[in-house]
Amino acid sequence: MCPFCSGREKQTPPEVMAVRTGDTQPDGPGWKVRVVPNKYPAFGPADGVLEESGHGHFHHTMNAIGVHEVLVSSPNHQHDLGDLPLSQVRYVVDTMVERYKANKTLSCVEYLLLIHNHGRDAGASLEHPHSQLFGFPLVPSAVADEIEGMARYRSEWGKCAFCHMIEIEQADAIRMVFENDGFATFAPFASSVPFETWIVPKHHSARFEEMTEINRAEFAEALKDLTSRISRGLNDPPFNFYIHTGPTKAAPALDYHWHLELVPKLTIAAGFELGSHISINVRAPEDAAEFLRSSLSGPDTGKSASPGCAQ
Amino acid sequence: MCPFCSGREKQTPPEVMAVRTGDTQPDGPGWKVRVVPNKYPAFGPADGVLEESGHGHFHHTMNAIGVHEVLVSSPNHQHDLGDLPLSQVRYVVDTMVERYKANKTLSCVEYLLLIHNHGRDAGASLEHPHSQLFGFPLVPSAVADEIEGMARYRSEWGKCAFCHMIEIEQADAIRMVFENDGFATFAPFASSVPFETWIVPKHHSARFEEMTEINRAEFAEALKDLTSRISRGLNDPPFNFYIHTGPTKAAPALDYHWHLELVPKLTIAAGFELGSHISINVRAPEDAAEFLRSSLSGPDTGKSASPGCAQ
């Protein structure tokens, strides 16, 4: 009784957008990608007024106004991005960009975070493949820290840290997984978890939603490629990915470099990781990249050799 | 064939310390708490020389010299700290302090992190209850950030943030779980995960290992109390705890306030948490504390009502 399958459109809140064929009607079958408000939103409403309070100066709170949308990847209940046709992944990417743009101007939204949970152990409560867009009234530290670090890097070394990273990864080659004209996919140096892999635009760009038509086609190709390699190579593991992009209200000239980070859930963050914020990664990114480079070379049997990496 | 059970002492590396009865011999039965080097150490050797290198200025590496010890909580394979007699928990606490002191002076060790993983889903690869002590050549950001934040707090407000936190928790009372003369146990305001609970010394003290005899007895009582409440109240969930204390080489006058943080593993950190470093906690700490306050009031049946908090 999956509420995201075609024919069950009434089980979700009314759609806010869909890619549809012919003259099909909203909240009925005939869609390719469908976007609905999350039935149990983490943030909302979008027209709420920010209320901040504190216990003296110690306990600071704000209400969780914002948006929380679900982007259903396709009517297909089984196939996630790696198994869908490239044309369908392109619809997903176009939808992501459109929803970014639609929510970006909301006064309550300081940041839009697009994420994808695949598999129950990665936190996907519904199996039917979908992404989620969270809009909320602050810039998360995960992104603020990157922006600050990149500013420090530029002041010290005179260039964008991510642009430089791509140069180094291309020269080193050992952590590179896939490239097309617009994007580089690689296992980052000193990655946090086994098979962590990033997709980074080759041309300096602060904002995901400013991709050109050509960029979107290239990004869809890179996204399908990576999720295919992960799913086929590692026997359909649980994984998460998320997109780090410029905050919605940042100045147009913001010096940032958007990218996607994918983290398979093959190991457990335990006391050491939680207590230190240091990761013990049992699979070197150089090994992971070598494995992923060859993971599409065999036939797609739906099964594969164990990577031997779960700790 | 548990290598931590009494009678299997030869299956571990030779013990570095044990609390023993009578005239029993090292690496034989008769111990109450036993400390051995980890057979598969994350850090070592302790007499290694730190070697740092980099790829230009971009990829910085150092070798993982240090120590990694296992503290077996008792000969009992089934009972973790919450179910052991208080006298046994006191032996564990004394052993933790002694191993801290023994490893603190190693030249390669900048930080000693004491952690405890309970249950497979919390990363415990061996079921027999044990803690682990990691010593390594850097101060982890989890602690460095706290030290920095506390310095900022003192310069702005003229007092220790943790001392102030205890005052507020005592006044608010709603997040308090347990108190004795030396320690306060409470669910911290805006906690990260359901039933996250901290044990904080009431008297300002930068270093775990500087506890007096009386403090150790009080800490053992608080630690047994909290782990009992978690295990009985939540039906023996997986959990991690870790101790944040002053770095080994910090100046004697370091302004810090050591404490223990316990985090049950009832939910999954998914794309939102990983991508933002913001936590969505489905159980308010005020509710969690109320539940934990009453969790020892019934008989210990080994089972309990579901807290209804797993997301």
A52 burial via Cβ count (<10 Å: 0-12, 13-18, 19+)? exposed
Checking phi first, is residue A277 left (phi over 0); if not, alpha (psi -120 to 50) or beta? left
Cα–Cα distance measured from residue A19 to residue A33, given in angstroms and rounded to the nearest whole number: 5
pLDDT for the residue B310: 32
Nearest C-alpha of chain A: how many angstroms from B196? 12
A174 burial via Cβ count (<10 Å: 0-12, 13-18, 19+)? middle
pLDDT for the residue B308: 37
- CA-nearest of B239, B204, B235 to B223 is B239
B130 is catalytic: yes
Tokens at B206, concatenated:
């930068």
pLDDT tens profile B203-235: 999 999 999 999 999 999 999 999 999 999 999
Could B122 and A270 be called an inter-chain contact, meaning their C-beta atoms sit closer than 8 Å?
A: yes
* C-beta of residue B126 within 8 angstroms of C-beta of residue B117: no
Cα–Cα distance measured from residue B70 to residue B116, given in angstroms and rounded to the nearest whole number: 10
Chain B interface, best mutation among A174, A274, A278, by max B CB count within 10 A: A274
Q: Calculate Rg over the CA atoms of chain A.
A: 20
pLDDT tens profile B231-261: 999 999 999 999 999 999 999 999 999 999 9
* C-beta of residue A263 within 8 angstroms of C-beta of residue A196: yes
Cα–Cα distance measured from residue A295 to residue A154, given in angstroms and rounded to the nearest whole number: 36
Cα–Cα distance measured from residue B15 to residue A246, given in angstroms and rounded to the nearest whole number: 53
pLDDT for the residue B299: 54
As for the ipTM of the complex, it is 0.95
pLDDT for the residue B133: 98
* C-beta of residue B16 within 8 angstroms of C-beta of residue B35: yes
Q: How does DSSP assign B290-311, residue by residue?
A: HHHHTTTSS---S-----S---
Written as tens digits, the pLDDT of chain A (311 aa) is 899 999 999 999 999 999 999 899 999 999 999 999 999 999 999 999 999 887 667 888 999 999 999 999 999 999 999 999 999 999 999 999 999 999 999 999 999 999 999 999 999 999 999 999 999 999 999 999 999 999 999 999 999 999 999 999 999 999 999 999 999 999 999 999 999 999 999 999 999 999 999 999 999 999 999 999 999 999 999 999 999 999 999 999 999 999 999 999 999 999 999 999 999 999 999 999 999 999 987 555 444 334 433 33
Of A117, A165, A244, the CB nearest to B270: A117
Res. B55 pLDDT band, cuts 50 70 90: low
**Dihedral sign, Cα of residue B147, residue B152, residue B155, residue B158:** negative
pTM: 0.94
A133: helix, strand or coil: strand
Could A190 and B57 be called an inter-chain contact, meaning their C-beta atoms sit closer than 8 Å?
A: no
pLDDT for the residue A184: 98
pLDDT for the residue B223: 98
pLDDT tens profile B11-38: 999 999 999 998 999 999 999 999 999 9
Cα–Cα distance measured from residue B131 to residue B227, given in angstroms and rounded to the nearest whole number: 13
pLDDT for the residue A53: 87
Could A271 and B242 be called an inter-chain contact, meaning their C-beta atoms sit closer than 8 Å?
A: yes
pLDDT for the residue B297: 77
Of A57, A240, A274, the CB nearest to B274: A240
Count of other CB atoms within 10 angstroms of residue A2: 13
Res. B83 pLDDT band, cuts 50 70 90: very high
Chain A, nearest residue to B111 by Cα? A276
A156: helix, strand or coil: helix
B124: helix, strand or coil: coil
Name the catalytic one among B68, B118, B130, B257: B130
Cα–Cα distance measured from residue A103 to residue A15, given in angstroms and rounded to the nearest whole number: 15
A243: helix, strand or coil: strand
pLDDT for the residue A303: 41
**Dihedral sign, Cα of residue A86, residue A95, residue A256, residue A238:** negative
Of chain A, the end-to-end C-alpha distance in Å amounts to 35
- B20-37: string of b/e by CB count within 10 Å (b at 16+)? beeeeeeeeebbbbbbbb
